[in-house]
Amino acid sequence: MNTIDRPAHPGRGGHARSTQKGRVADEAALQEIAALIGDGAWQRDLLIEYLHVIQDHYGCISARHLAALAEHLRIGLAEAYETATFYAHFDVVKEDSTPVAPLTIRICDSIGCAMAGAEALLADLKKTAPKNIRIQRVPCIGQCAEAPAAVVGTKVVVHASSQKLTSCADSGEHRADEKSPPDYTTYSAHGGYELYQAICSGKLPADHALDVIEASGLRGMGGAGFPTARKWRAVKSAAGIKYLVINADEGEPGTFKDRFILEHDPHRVLEGALMAATIIGANEIYFYLRDEYAGLRAMLTREIAKLPADGPRIHLRRGAGSYVCGEESALIESLEGKRGYPRQRPPLPVESGLFGRPTATNNVETLFFLRDILERGAEWWRAQGRKGGIGLRHYSVSGRVKNPGVKLAPAGLTLHDLLQDYCGGMADGHELLAYLPGGASGGIMPARLSHVPLDFGALEPHGCFIGSAAIIVLSQHDDLKSAARNLMAFFADESCGQCTPCRLGTAKSLKLMQAEHWDVPLLKDLAEVMRDASICGLGQAAPNPVQSLLRYFPHLFEGDQA
């Protein structure tokens, strides 16, 4: 059996707190930060962007530079410190700390890479890598179809081996490969941005476009599946300043569809964003891209600069390593330069979102389909689905399949159909045992339910959900208990810590699951508390894999505490 446990990482905020209180920034540090950031007006909401600039330049964020940044922004040092230490990608160090290694190799240890041998890779690399290279285990980096995956500096290495990683480190080529999809000119030459111009000119009235979207039944595709038109109507009806936010912070283990879409057709997403913003009356768009996608960030920076200057302004913002920021309100907090703490509701973001203004947040995939729907019509879109499903979906498929990857397929098709028609079947020597229909949080389905439609509403009666359509396939060679432990370790590490049920519930559940025999009654009690009392979907969904095993694989718990 392949074991795919995932040890918990050091918790966020686990950095040693400085013993210096009320630190005053020294003049040299103030000048260094001013020279690095530039002469523009200092903005509080750009705190995370400034932290990235400092880390990119110096390789870490020193206490003196953090104090200088806080001084420039006129915020307390504690406020700057708690934000910097919340995000996993910032290295905040004291002057007497061991210097950060000049190069870091990050090995993904989430479920897809764990199944492909990430633990053995980590162990081997720690023995063979030079001492001046830091080796880190990190959560999913969105390369699940080519596992195991790693990042050397910012350069992604797929199907990674110790030899490949060491060779990459020795080569000195540590920068992300910049993608080269169709550029603005090419996309425009094939009808791109014509619909957007039609909406701007009134040739395609915004109200009519919204009616078409409503008739199509288009839903959010980042997880919750909220009806798109309903969200847009709520924001459109509001007065004053409004915002559109693009959520490209996919961090769910097994999910990589947004990366695939942006690598292959970014302008279809950008046009969708411009159309959406125009329809709801938003003058500014905030594009939140996960930090792991450095090559995409360089490409998007270049292509966004080519867009017409008279349309809604697009701000490309950079995440910093926090899964919870995929949650809508936590993402908004991060865009405001704060820790990614999910907000209590009400109010909803459509009422009071970014900077306290009505905000529509949409996933990359939702915006990608907008042009097709408006060009071809609502009925065309609805007819694409199967078994009552509506439209198309990008399924991220990984695990024990012959041809993993992103598959554009009808909503509502079954796992059986997906495997046979799009993935070439199971990998040689593997038989279907179970599958995750919605990534780490969507639960685990047994092989006998491979006929259930992969769609909103179809999986819920079985205790699972489709979420972002991240399909992870497991076989008879995989240990389901260790798979569930891997997922719970991910949730325990990624819990933001704001609410007690999630913070303690995930940690306690993981500890119970690391025992030889599981305390099933206590795990059930913890699951109930986490579902009922956690602030956001992370804590509410974290018990799903465990609950699925208890429901569909009871034989695994023979001899455990019942």
- Confidence (pLDDT) at 5: 57
Q: What is the DSSP letter of 244?
A: E
pLDDT reading at 19 higher than 50: no
CA 298 to chain CA centroid, nearest Å:
18
Query: Please, where are the H alpha helices in 190-285?
Result: 194-201, 206-216, 228-236, 257-264, 266-280
- Confidence (pLDDT) at 97: 76
CA atoms within 13 A on the CB side of 30: 9
C-beta separation of 307 from 401 below 8 A: no
157 and 218 fall within a common domain: no
Phi, psi for 470 (deg, rounded to 5): -95, 110
**Domain presence at residue 82:** yes
**Domain presence at residue 176:** no
pLDDT reading at 20 higher than 90: no
Cα distance between residue 444 and residue 484, in whole Å? 9
- Confidence (pLDDT) at 131: 86
How, if at all, do strands 313-318 and 155-157 pair?
A: unpaired
284 and 220 fall within a common domain: yes
Name the nearest CA neighbour of 358 among 282, 288, 285. 282
Predicted confidence (pLDDT) per residue in 495-521, tens digit: 999 999 999 999 999 999 999 999 999
Kindly report the number of other CB atoms within 10 A of residue 43's CB atom: 11
Domain ends where: 93, 114, 132? 93
- Provide the pLDDT confidence category of residue 24 given band limits of 50, 70 and 90: confident
Mean pLDDT is lowest, of 124-133, 135-144, 147-156, 464-473, for: 124-133
Predicted confidence (pLDDT) per residue in 238-248, tens digit: 999 999 999 99
Q: Which residues pair with 398 in a beta bridge?
A: 472
Phi, psi for 556 (deg, rounded to 5): -70, -15
110 and 83 fall within a common domain: no
Mean pLDDT is lowest, of 20-24, 31-35, 161-165, 267-271, for: 20-24
Q: SS3 of 136, please?
A: strand
Q: Which residues pair with 93 in a beta bridge?
A: 62
Domain of 527, CATH number, reads: 1.20.1440.230
Amino acid at 195: L
- Provide the pLDDT confidence category of residue 7 given band limits of 50, 70 and 90: low
Cα distance between residue 410 and residue 8, in whole Å? 37
Average pLDDT of span 282-303: 97
Average pLDDT of span 19-41: 83
**Domain presence at residue 9:** no
- Provide the pLDDT confidence category of residue 179 given band limits of 50, 70 and 90: confident
Predicted confidence (pLDDT) per residue in 310-355, tens digit: 999 999 999 999 999 999 999 999 999 999 999 999 999 999 999 9
Average pLDDT of span 158-174: 94
How, if at all, do strands 359-363 and 243-248 pair?
A: parallel
- Provide the pLDDT confidence category of residue 11 given band limits of 50, 70 and 90: very low
234 and 361 fall within a common domain: yes
Q: What is the DSSP letter of 25?
A: P
Handedness of CA 13, 15, 17, 22 (dihedral sign): negative
Amino acid at 232: W
Q: What is the mean pLDDT of the chain?
A: 94
Predicted confidence (pLDDT) per residue in 527-554, tens digit: 999 999 999 999 999 999 999 999 999 9
pLDDT reading at 16 higher than 60: no
- Confidence (pLDDT) at 4: 60
Phi, psi for 512 (deg, rounded to 5): -65, -35
Average pLDDT of span 290-299: 96
| Neighbouring residues of 406: CB distance < 8 A, sequence distance ≥ 6 | 145, 256, 257, 260, 261, 394, 395, 396, 397
Domain of 297, CATH number, reads: 3.40.50.11540
80 and 115 fall within a common domain: no
465 and 488 fall within a common domain: no
pLDDT reading at 461 higher than 60: yes
Domain of 447, CATH number, reads: 3.10.20.600
Average pLDDT of span 26-50: 94
Query: In sequence order, what DSSP letters do the residues of 299-325 get, joined into one string?
Result: HHHHHHTTS-TTS-EEEEEE--S-GGG
Q: SS3 of 413, please?
A: coil
191 and 340 fall within a common domain: yes
Total domains in the fold of the chain = 5
| Neighbouring residues of 260: CB distance < 8 A, sequence distance ≥ 6 | 394, 396, 405, 406
CA 124 to chain CA centroid, nearest Å:
28
Q: Is 22 left (phi over 0), alpha (psi -120 to 50) or beta?
A: left
Cα distance between residue 562 and residue 550, in whole Å? 10
| Neighbouring residues of 554: CB distance < 8 A, sequence distance ≥ 6 | none
Q: What does pTM read for this prediction?
A: 0.94
Cα distance between residue 93 and residue 393, in whole Å? 43
Domain ends where: 309, 340, 375? 375
Average pLDDT of span 203-208: 98
**Domain presence at residue 17:** no
Cα distance between residue 437 and residue 345, in whole Å? 28
Show the domain range for 68: 27-93
pLDDT reading at 132 higher than 50: yes
460 and 534 fall within a common domain: no
Q: Which residues pair with 222 in a beta bridge?
A: none
211 and 326 fall within a common domain: yes
486 and 459 fall within a common domain: no
Cα distance between residue 380 and residue 391, in whole Å? 8
**Domain presence at residue 10:** no
**Domain presence at residue 22:** no
| Neighbouring residues of 183: CB distance < 8 A, sequence distance ≥ 6 | 267, 303, 306
SS3 assignment for 314-363: EEEEECCCCHHHHCHHHHHHHHCCCCCCCCCCCCCCCCCCHHHCCEEEEE
**Domain presence at residue 2:** no
- Provide the pLDDT confidence category of residue 40 given band limits of 50, 70 and 90: confident
- Confidence (pLDDT) at 187: 98
- Confidence (pLDDT) at 454: 97
Q: Which helix or strand (DSSP H or E) is residue 178 part of?
A: none
**Domain presence at residue 486:** yes
395 and 247 fall within a common domain: no
- Provide the pLDDT confidence category of residue 98 given band limits of 50, 70 and 90: confident
- Confidence (pLDDT) at 22: 58
